[in-house]
Amino acid sequence: MENTLRVPTKEQLEKYDRLKACLGSFQSLAVAFSSGVDSALLLYAAKEALGERAIAVTAASGAFPKRELAEAKAFCAEHGILQEIVEFREMEVEGFRENPKNRCYICKKALFQEILRAAAVHGIDTVAEGSNLDDLGDYRPGLTAIAELGIESPLRTCGLTKSDIRALSGYFGLPTWNKPSYACLASRFVYGETITIEKLSMVDRAEQLLFNLGFSQFRVRIHGMMARIEVLPEEFPKLLENRLPVVRALKEYGFTYVSMDLAGYRTGSMNETFLFR
């Protein structure tokens, strides 16, 4: 995650112009908006390109941190964007609880079907999501579901990377420019381990604690009743300084064991169990 605000390069500004031109080609557009770094810039650009013909659709789900929904509502209110809230019950989606290796595919397909229905209520038949060019470098079965449903991915189409998105977001004054990257809380579970509402809540509370302590990027992975904490290597000393209160809190949340991953924070670490054997 970038911590220093910087002026976008000419190339990055040109990419943004291409993005707006791409978005402007749609008659109307519903942006799947999570309040994350990527979807925030996408929604901002859609509002600039389409005005009131762009809306946000946000999922209220137990698999996303509660603070994310509040931030999504605040962003839309600040920018005068119509927002539709979809109640998504992922625990009722067949196959989700069992957490197979294609869980993200199963979940994304069900979620975006709901988003498409919500968009249709507003007379909008085009939906866009915020994956970027860097997302092609990891195991992301959800992208297959997105493609099958005909969901647009303008950030990828226009070649924007996460670094581009952060630089442009800072330039336009978006509060998400240096926001930590988040993902569905189900991604904290080792494949094959049953996902429960109780364990999702345990992970959510644990990560909220790290957020409150000021860690810049983190994950709390769950293995049975053990928490495996990932933070940036430069923040190892901070975690050790807070070792006792962190352990005490996580045990109160329901974890039996609390560990620190010496490899540090990285995206998709659960994929290492089958990608790198």
> At 116, phi and psi to the nearest 5?
-60, -40
Greatest extent of the chain over all pairs of C-alpha atoms, in Å: 55
Residues in the chain: 277
| Helical axes 37-50 vs 162-171, angle rounded to 10° | 60
The per-residue pLDDT for 26 is 98
Where residue 242 falls among pLDDT bands split at 50, 70, 90?
very high
Of all residues in the chain, the percent with pLDDT exceeding 90 is 86
Q: Which residues contact 58 (CB under 8 A, 6 or more apart)?
A: 32, 33, 34, 35, 69, 72, 73, 76, 83, 84, 85, 86
The per-residue pLDDT for 156 is 96
Residue 277 clears pLDDT 50, i.e. is over it: no
Q: What is the pLDDT of residues 92-131, one digit of tens each?
A: 999 999 999 999 999 999 999 999 999 999 999 999 999 9
Q: What is the pLDDT of residues 130-159, one digit of tens each?
A: 999 988 866 788 899 999 999 999 999 999
Rounded to whole angstroms, the Cα distance separating 206 from 179 reads 18
User: Which helix (H) or strand (E) element contains residue 226?
Assistant: strand 226-231
Alpha carbon 204 to chain centroid, angstroms: 14
Mean pLDDT of 233-248: 98
Where residue 272 falls among pLDDT bands split at 50, 70, 90?
low
Where residue 76 falls among pLDDT bands split at 50, 70, 90?
very high
User: Could you give all domains of the chain from N- to C-terminal order, each with its CATH number?
Assistant: 10-171 (3.40.50.620), 185-275 (3.30.70.2210)
Half-sphere exposure (Cβ direction) of 241: Cα atoms closer than 13 Å:
9
pTM: 0.89
Rounded to whole angstroms, the Cα distance separating 31 from 39 reads 8
Residue 2 clears pLDDT 60, i.e. is over it: no
Could you tell me if 161 and 132 are in contact, meaning their C-beta atoms sit under 8 angstroms apart?
Answer: yes
Range in 6-10, 156-160, 200-204 the model is least confident about: 6-10
The per-residue pLDDT for 276 is 44
Rounded to whole angstroms, the Cα distance separating 123 from 111 reads 19
